[in-house]
Structure 1
């Protein structure tokens, strides 16, 4: 199906984008090569290819590389390592609505639907897009899969797939012949997909519906300068009083420019339910142990109709015994990182406080527990020391040009 601008009725038909004023931009952001002394987060022995924020904690990053690893970020345990399901570079992964599956886009041009708890590919579409350039795949709220990629003639494409039948796409649209990879941003509350191309100066947006042609073009936001990258604000950070339904952060060469997407509404009808259905909040629907046991759960929803009011950030549940268990390696990784090898945590972050308070009469037992904990901590510190020494040696080789 060729790309067509079909005019149809939609409350998002006239959504318009507006860059903020210069004094609201983030200036003096340098892109490209940075100074070698700039602080970094260590933990990957190979290239870091993608990065994202944890949806349940605004202070934790997640990332991905050639291996897919599922972590319990509360205990820093590696739960599942999926290192034999992708023969080539992984472009992206995306969880479904209840966390039971994720889809992936790979350099081998295949889209896979994976059950991480079984370690199996449950469905696969070979050559979802024929072109050799990068593609992306994301789950939609109803379980369908939306992909972006390139045709054999290097035309940029959008496609919608039914996981129950991956033989042919439900819809396939060709956009243009630009060479920038298309990055999809999906709003499950409105079923609107925003598509941004690297090196483009525009954001196209589409509404996904259950009737043909399924992918309905809405509009295009165009600016003067091309974007080097794009991110967006979680829904709970939007200004509902201005009918803001999305906010992008466009990366320029030296600044980051917020772009506000707004639905034009009169003041009297601004706060209406159709613009702001309940959305996924920051609270996790279940604990990691429940998920490992096979449980699934839809996101815990919050209301935006009167604007979101942040609550106190919930700390991750950390199981100290899991961290210091004598039968497992100490300090496996920093919370939230997905890497080919475990990462190095700082000693202050890795070492829990020693609890020496107890009721009288149990002095001997408490002393033994303290001694065991001190021994575990010493082993942990020793392991960290070895890790630091290896990293310093690697850094030295890099600085001397040996690598």
Structure 2
């Protein structure tokens, strides 16, 4: 009777809650597949009870329970090997940590394991506390909709990071495992005295082997991280250099046209026309220099070199295209928590889109306003430009992949990329296009 009560009131709830916790790490509900959940809980609980009846020592029992959990995840839930091992590690990790916490609390009050097991009230209290901690962890994970996929997006770098965390967790559990066994043997009777030197040596060798593997994986992860950083910071510079070269070539072409015009006036002795033409060029040059000086002063405030380089290259393009570009950067640190590569994607595509749209206007009507600021509740990017009015029924279509206003049909990715990156950071995009003025406002909640 005691066996049946313990199985129904302790072992089954324990298995069910451990399953709930491991699934909650991937934002999965235990009730989505009820049959699999019941089967998993039964088999896991039966295995635990069987090992207890066979009086298997604590350490081998933990290893066998870990293997059982992993095998059940592989066969019942059909998870891949890495995911199954991770979830098995979560189960056993939660179990060992909870047991260690409970024992530490009881031992601090001079209640040791033999006394707990021999006293009905203490046993009941310990088991309620044990299951209560499981329930608390499960509820917290489910309420917060925790999903480890959000921390480790699917790419090679994150897979190595996940593997490092997994192996590090196993390493930690093995070390805790060893220390717990010594602690329990010294304070909690002879229940844990069945440890051979060979078994202890095996655990120590496993810890050493895992440490070596972790060091190798960390070296690989570090190299991948360095390569990724170089790529993310190098690509914007290369794109900016390309824009600068294009702008310089365009300026050279314009200069040749101006020299040709002036030379033509002089050859025909039209000195008054040549003088008027040169004066007009000088006025335009002065205006451009003033605009450039004010923009350069703003750019000097930006501490992110990739972003500063990008904005400077776009500024040169605007000068060549005779576009009045106004930069208003009111806060320079609010985007420091975002990846440089993502910032460059947003800024580059929005500015390219604005430059292209503005180029359809007459030179005297071309302008772009770029504002980068912050309010009490949010920080934002705001870009406004002159150009063709976008019909209201197409304002949402412009963010779709493939949408383009180019006659040759090229492009159609820029604004889709902007939307994708903004949503990744829970940003909101508001677009408006009225009377030849189009604006984009991207807001992010303050962190």
Bin of the TM-score, shorter chain as denominator length: under 0.3
> Which structure has the larger Rg?
2
The structure with the largest strand share of the pair is: 1
Greater relative contact order (CA < 8 Å, ≥ 6 in sequence): 1
- The alignment's TM-score, normalised by the length of structure 2, stands at 0.21
The structure with the largest helix share of the pair is: 2
